[in-house]
Amino acid sequence: MEHETTGDDPSGAGPVETDAVIIGAGPVGLFAVFELGLVDIKAHVVDILDKPGGQCAELYPDKPIYDIPGLPIVTGHELTERLIEQIRPFGATFHLGERVDALERTADGRFLLTTDAGKSFLARVVVIAAGGGSFTPKRPPLEGIEGFEGKSVFYAVRRMQDFSGTDLLIVGGGDSALDWTLNLQPLARSVTLLHRRDEFRGAPHSVERMRALVVEGAIQLVIGQVMALHGEGGRLEAVTIRTKEGEKRLACNRMLPFFGLTMKLGPIADWGIDLAENLVPVDTATFETSEKGIFAIGDINTYPGKLKLILSGFHEAALMAQQAHKYVYPDRKLMFQYTTSSSSLQKKLGVR
């Protein structure tokens, strides 16, 4: 599995050509890599979040899940790790911190997809595994914040180097806030972590590392809330924060607010696919949408009897891959095989 989190291809070589693009790196999107890999379909995966796992990893990484076959109890984080290990033989490339904004069919029947980071892909099939839609960061209720967004206030980290030498304020108490505090501390000139209380929702080892850096004087931890932003032309110069001692001004020129996520259908609504109450109707024989070559699996789709369960999405991914093979390899007949008995499948999985 390869990770790629930068924006445009610096070589200017044009679109990435691939068999399939999977939109969404939650459990169902990850398992789609596996099912496509079994039938020799290479995939690139795009997700707006900064790590794989989707809703499972982002919203409830430590919440126990009890209905995954063969796993009596597993957390969202553990399930994500197991799926990543399972798909490793297929070498999918991940483009994290990006959202697919545009999708159109080209003259040769392939799909051209473009992300909000300016990256583009040419693919024979598209698999929408975006859960209930695209995650959208919650905007802090601060007057005039829109003018700073994309210039000095960011909701995701695309390139760590962009924060080198900055005076950085990170706001939040979850995994994202803690992870970026730890990862950007060596690069930034100064890092301040601001949270409304001295309790954190992130992984215990991350909290321990963060507190150790505070003791060392490498970062500053402030308990309070952001009340106002100061600066001109989108350039942040300072913020007003409120603590139990009162209000004070804190100098900074970059801010990463992690106030949680909301889910919206997003750009999918503009792709010409039939929709039904913000969901995507599919053919249950193939999980194809109204557009041939575009599939929808997981919570984003709808059909009679649909159950919004991870295990249902796994089933949908398996049937999707069978149909996707017909588009990627139109002249090749697909012979159904079992991983338990097929030497060729076992070879792909690296177990033979």
Tokens of 282: 């599919």
Q: What is the pLDDT of residues 48-90, one digit of tens each?
A: 888 898 877 666 666 788 999 999 999 888 999 999 999 999 9
Q: Which residue has the tokens 């041939």?
A: 292
Residue 61: predicted pLDDT = 67
69 Cβ contact list (under 8 Å, min separation 6):
311
Cβ proximity of 193 and 181 under 8 Å: yes
Tokens of 278: 């913000």
The topology (CATH level 3) of 139-259 is FAD/NAD(P)-binding domain (3.50.50)
Residue 135: predicted pLDDT = 61
The DSSP symbol for 88 reads: G
Residue 5: predicted pLDDT = 42
Q: What's the rounded Cα separation, in Å, for the pair 118 and 82?
A: 31
* Paired residues of 193 in beta bridges: 170, 221
Residue 62: predicted pLDDT = 67
Q: What's the rounded Cα separation, in Å, for the pair 352 and 348?
A: 8
Cβ proximity of 119 and 27 under 8 Å: no
DSSP string, 197-229: SS---S-HHHHHHHHHHHHHTSSEEEESEEEEE
> Residue 345: enclosing H or E segment and its boundaries?
helix 343-348
DSSP string, 235-248: EEEEEEEEETTEEE
| CATH homologous superfamily, domain 2-136+262-348 | FAD/NAD(P)-binding domain (3.50.50.60)
Residue 263: predicted pLDDT = 59
Cβ proximity of 346 and 352 under 8 Å: yes
Residue 54: predicted pLDDT = 84
Give the burial class of 184: count Cβ atoms within 10 A of its Cβ; 0-12 exposed, 13-18 middle, 19 or more buried.
buried
Q: Which residue has the tokens 């599939």?
A: 295
Q: What's the rounded Cα separation, in Å, for the pair 130 and 231?
A: 36
* Low-confidence residues in the chain, pLDDT < 70: 1-13, 57-62, 132-136, 261-266
DSSP string, 111-138: EEEEETTS-EEEEEEEEE--TTSEEEEP
Residue 6: predicted pLDDT = 36
Q: What's the rounded Cα separation, in Å, for the pair 119 and 8?
A: 5
Helix (H, G, I), strand (E, B) or coil at 110: coil
Q: What's the rounded Cα separation, in Å, for the pair 95 and 6?
A: 8
Q: What's the rounded Cα separation, in Å, for the pair 143 and 134?
A: 25
* Helix and strand totals (H; E) in the chain: 7, 21
Identical fold for domains 2-136+262-348 and 139-259, yes or no, is yes
Q: Which residue has the tokens 């706001």?
A: 171
Q: What are phi and psi of 170, to 5 degrees?
A: -110, 130
> Residue 18: enclosing H or E segment and its boundaries?
strand 16-23
Residue 131: predicted pLDDT = 78
* Paired residues of 294 in beta bridges: 126
Q: What is the pTM of this model?
A: 0.69
Give the burial class of 325: count Cβ atoms within 10 A of its Cβ; 0-12 exposed, 13-18 middle, 19 or more buried.
buried
Residue 260: predicted pLDDT = 77
Ranges of each domain in the chain: 2-136+262-348, 139-259
